[in-house]
Amino acid sequence: MNRYLDMVDGPEHVKKLTLPQLQELAGEVREELIGGLAKAGGHLGPNLGVVELTIALHRVFNSPKDKFVWDVSHQVYVHKLLTGRKDKFRTIRQTDGLNGFALRSESAHDCYGAGHAGTALSAALGMAAARDKKGTDENIVCIFGDAALTNGISFEALNNIGHTTKKFIGILNDNEWSIAKNVGAISAYLNKLITNPRYNKLARDFENFLKRLPKGELAARLAHKAGEGVKGAISEVGMRQKSEVAIDADGRGGFGNPVLFEEMGMRYLGPIDGHNLPLLISTLEFAKTCDYPIVIHILTQKGKGFDAALKYPEKFHGLGPYDAKTGETPAAKPGTAPAYQDVMGQTLVKLCQRDNRLIGITAAMPTGTGLKHLEKALPDRYYDVGIAEEHAVIFAAGMATMGLHPVVAIYSTFLQRAYDCIHHDVCLQDLPVIFCMDRSGLSANDGPTHHGLFDIAYLRCLPNVIAMAPANEDELADMMFTASHQNHPTFIRYPRGTAEGVPVKDQPKLLEIGKAEVVQNFATNGKKKAALFGLGPMNTIARKAATQLAAEGFDVAVINPRFTKPIDAGTHEFFGRSADVIVTLEDHVLMGGYGSSVLELLSEKAIATPVIRIGWPDQFIEHASSQDELRKKYGLTVENIIARVKAQFGEPEAKVTKLIDVA
Ligand SMILES: Cc1ncc(C[n+]2csc(CCOP(=O)(O)OP(=O)(O)O)c2C)c(N)n1
């Protein structure tokens, strides 16, 4: 039997379906999400939670004229399915497939791109202000999660909405979860709203009010109210049991109690059941008629419709392949190396056990950063501050002024947001804060919002910074240990995913600051000399290239630079003078990266040895199925190193025939 989903090629088709058909559509969308993501993975849980909401949005509003701005936008899969992209849905997050987030270049229905949290309210308000200036009449609808309210930018926007525009629809999608359980006073506050019988009653009254209205009357009646300029439409609904006259109970047209949003100049309506499709549709119809900013608080379940996802909301927030029936995920193959994040978390536990000054701080990523190990082992040394990277960094700076050595674990890409805090609070005051930057390098399936390719450049210009990149997990532990002995800001960048598989020593060792490791020196036998400086995970690639080049008659040195600031001037100078060609390899943009710092140094020393820089070009790198595919496409490969070195010596690239297999 044909599915309704098969007939939906755009929002206009959603509008043609009856309510029972839309309910069926919701079931089909859930099946498509569960089945369609099983092979390659994705943000299943959040999307299962917004099925009814997304259908209701497309039923009530007219995208792309009306604008939906999604916070983070990891929950736009249903929106993609309903806006002409269902045929490509199973390519999502894969090479040449749909992006996993809203992407302006992908569809006119993706009016605002994102991937980082906390931007939606500001962006939507900007759109609303622009609309008001232009005098047009689009509806701007902002969908933000409860965890977005742990983020400062969201509050900066809320602070402005009431006095900037009269037409703004916010939908607070409250499922009580961030990736992990949501944290802090805001989550406790929302919980109070949810469980407060007064609000529940008012929301129920509102629901009954909507139900009692004959079809068609709702819009007319509400439009009439708006025309009259009656501000307390919602209050009136809440109070109408007592009187038919509008009672503006608290003088602001709210429900009568100072709700946070009302205090900030918006009307609050909720909490309502975010899986009740007819109620959502009526409520959104109502919101459309409001001539004041409104926030609708909906309650949803992350993972709705899939038992495993309901049971394990954190795991199913975003995951790789799983069994579409059971939700089981494939076990790691025996002998698989640990993930960098786990080595980081376990090392931090060990270091904390020996050093009272160490504290772990995460910005809503306990599992992704590995800090869950610390939370479990030493909960009083662990802080989850919510999606609040700026706060996390300044909070750490404050701690450091009191003699502690906080370890701030934030992905490279999310740390960008806290740049001023790194500069103004940490570096300028030269405080001993330790930054562990996971996902430095590619986050292949996520794409440009999540690749961590800029941190060397954005850090190396700041005074007092010590910045390092381990070549393997054992060196990561050494670097964390070394960082804990510094009285300056330290930054450690390491990649996403599986480490190199080397044993991690029981007792990490202290590294000399600014000292590179010469892994393999020249054999000094007079051959063509190439010095390969492979930073971090690129060191493994450098070693492989060295083996191949040696087999083809080159004399090759391999250096593990370890430090991107200060770089090891002596070692770089030595090889700059003794090599015929220097090759720098980094999992970072070339612009301003490690290779650039080598060029600067050699230039200062008037060393003219040619430098081949291998890294990412000056463009945003797209998403793909795997890191290897992108590395191949952009030349961060053994083959390309060999070809470039040979070309430097005038040997044609074509000579690279068969690569030696090296472990
Ligand atoms: C600046 C930033 N920090 C961290 C993240 C990682 N992150 C992605 S989604 C998410 C939780 C979002 O929770 P919520 O907004 O409530 O939506 P839900 O997934 O619960 O629907 C986090 C922390 C991010 N995307 N951006």
Q: Is the CB of 576 under 6 A from ligand 1?
A: no
554-560 and 517-520 strand pairing: antiparallel
At which residue do the structure tokens 């479990």 appear? 376
Least confident of 477-481, 573-577, 649-653: 649-653
417 is catalytic: yes
Lowest mean pLDDT among 95-104, 179-188, 240-249, 274-283: 240-249
Average pLDDT over residues 304-319: 97
DSSP string, 74-100: TT-HHHHHHTT-GGGGGGTTSTTS--S
In degrees rounded to 5, what are phi and psi of residue 293? Answer: -65, 140
Average pLDDT of the residues in 568-589: 98
Adjacent-strand bridge partners of 406:
359
pLDDT above 90 covers a percentage of the chain that reads: 84
Which of 179, 297, 412, when mutated, tests ligand 1's pocket best, judged by the most ligand atoms within 8 Å of its CB?
A: 179
**Residues 116 and 446: beta-carbon distance below 8 Å:** no
Confirm if 35 and 324 have CB atoms less than 8 A apart.
yes
- Average pLDDT of the residues of the chain: 92
E-state strands within 392-534: 405-409, 434-437, 466-468, 490-493, 517-520, 528-534
Q: Is the pLDDT of residue 251 over 90?
A: no
- The pLDDT value recorded for residue 246 is 33
* Higher pLDDT among residues 275 and 191, named by residue: 275
CB 456 within 8 A of CB 493: yes
The residue whose two tokens read 């709210």 is 254
What pLDDT is recorded for position 17? 98
Q: For ligand 1, is residue 74 a contact (CB within 6 Å)?
A: yes
Positive or negative, the CA dihedral 200, 202, 203, 209 is positive
Distance of CA 614 to the CA centre of its chain: 26
Candidate from 52, 53, 72, 119 with most ligand 1 atoms within 8 A of CB, to mutate: 72
Dump pLDDT digits (tens) for 40-93.
999 999 999 999 999 999 999 999 999 999 999 999 999 999 999 999 999 999
For the Cβ of 302 lying below 6 angstroms from any atom of ligand 1, the answer is yes
User: Is 460 a catalytic site residue?
Assistant: no
Q: Distances from the Cα of 408 to the Cαs of 21, 182, 364, 432, in angstroms?
A: 49, 19, 12, 11
* Spatial CA neighbour of 583 closest among 550, 546, 622: 546
| Four-CA torsion 624, 628, 634, 637, nearest 10 degrees | 180
Pick the catalytic residue from 176, 262, 389, 390.
389
187 vs 570, higher pLDDT: 570
Which residue is associated with the tokens 């959104």? 284
CA of 147 to the centre of ligand 1 (A): 6
Q: Please tell me the predicted confidence (pLDDT) of residue 2.
A: 86
Active-site residue flag, 225: no
Distance CA 478, CA 519 (A): 17
445/439 Cα distance (integer angstroms): 12
Question: Is the distance from the beta carbon of residue 147 to the nearest atom of ligand 1 less than 6 Å?
Answer: yes
> Stretch 573-581: mean pLDDT, rounded?
97
Mean pLDDT of 381-403: 98
Q: Is any ligand 1 atom within 6 A of the Cβ of residue 386?
A: no
Q: What is the band of 192 on the pLDDT scale with cuts at 50, 70, 90?
A: confident
Determine contact, residues 552/456, Cβ cutoff 8 Å.
no
pLDDT tens-place string over residues 405-439: 999 999 999 999 999 999 999 999 999 999 999 99
User: Residue 255: is its pLDDT beyond 80?
Assistant: no
Alpha-carbon gap, residue 238 to 241, rounded angstroms: 7
Query: What confidence tier does 253 reach under pLDDT thresholds 50, 70, 90?
Result: very low
Distance from residue 268's CA to the centre of ligand 1 (Å): 23
Question: Percentage of residues in the chain with pLDDT exceeding 70?
Answer: 90
**Dihedral angle, C-alpha 188, 404, 342, 116, nearest 10 °:** 50
In this prediction, residue 189 carries a pLDDT of 85
Q: Is 116 in the pocket of ligand 1 (CB under 6 A)?
A: yes
- What's the pLDDT band for 653 if we cut at 50, 70, 90? low
- Residue 341: pLDDT band (50, 70, 90) is very high
Is residue 248 predicted with pLDDT exceeding 70? no
Looking at the CA of residue 368, tell me the nearest atom of ligand 1.
6
Give 475-529 pLDDT, tens digit per residue: 999 999 999 999 999 999 999 999 999 999 999 999 999 999 999 999 977 789 9
Residue with the nearest Cα to atom 25 of ligand 1?
116
Residue 229 has pLDDT above 50, yes or no: no
Distance 71 CA to ligand 1 centre (A): 8
Asked if residue 159 lies in contact with residue 293, where contact means CB atoms within 8 angstroms, the answer is no
**What's the CA gap between 144 and 604, in Å, rounded?**
51
How confident is the model over 204-220, as a mean pLDDT? Answer: 65
Could you please report the per-residue DSSP string of 101-156?
S--TTT-TT--S--SSTT-HHHHHHHHHHHHHHHT----EEEEEEGGGGGSHHHHH
- Calculate the CA 546 to chain-centre distance: 36
Distance separating alpha carbons of residues 571 and 559, to the nearest angstrom: 9
Residue 312 CA from chain centroid, whole number: 20
pLDDT computed for residue 323 by the predictor: 98
Instruction: Decide which of 222 and 233 is more confident.
Output: 222
Q: Provide the edge-to-edge strand list for the sheet that holds 466-468.
A: 382-384, 358-362, 405-409, 434-437, 490-493, 466-468, 563-565
Q: Is residue 237 pLDDT above 70, yes or no?
A: no
Token pair, residue 80, equals 């993609």
Torsion of CA 494, 500, 502, 504, to 10 degrees: 30
